[in-house]
Amino acid sequence: MSKRPHDLPPEKHSLYVHARQIMGRPGGEHWDLAHRSLLDYSWREDEVRQAVDAPEDVEWFTRVLELEYHGLADFRFYEVPESSGAHGAWGEGGWWRDQPLAVWGEFYIRAGGVVVLARRYGEAPAS
């Protein structure tokens, strides 16, 4: 068996290897800093969409939100919103709801999510 450069469980390692083939490059690392362990890898949502040749439409966005619900994607803010509290939660003022997500940050899709989307849109590893 090949030596893994991380301490991911074998099933996550397999997903990472598959996702890396689909994406054509290594993903960004997700670390548990408290325990000094690697949790997973991820890629920007737009890069994944292009890699799996999916249209940027409502169905795509719905699938990304489904992945987030299942812990296979997450949204990262570019910076903490001004009205947010100490833990990144903001009041229900409502003004932020009228702005597109792209103003606030972007989605990152984890290895398992990349594989799910590739299967949905027809797998074609990057060359």
Amino acid at 109: I
66, two tokens: 């489904």
pLDDT greater than 90 at residue 59: yes
Residue 28 pLDDT exceeds 80: yes
Q: Please check the confidence at residue 27 and state whether its pLDDT lies above 90.
A: no
Sketch the domain layout of the chain as residue ranges: 10-83+94-121
Sign of the alpha-carbon dihedral angle for 87, 41, 104, 94: negative
**Measuring CA to CA, which residue among 46, 52, 54, 55 is closest to residue 109?**
46
Q: Is 32 helix (H, G, I), strand (E, B) or coil?
A: strand
The amino acid occupying position 12 is K
Q: Please compute the mean of the pLDDT values over residues 6-21 and round it to a whole number.
A: 84
- The alpha helices in the chain, defined as continuous H runs, are 10-23, 45-51, 58-69, 101-104, 111-121
Give CA–CA dist 19/125, Å, rounded: 9
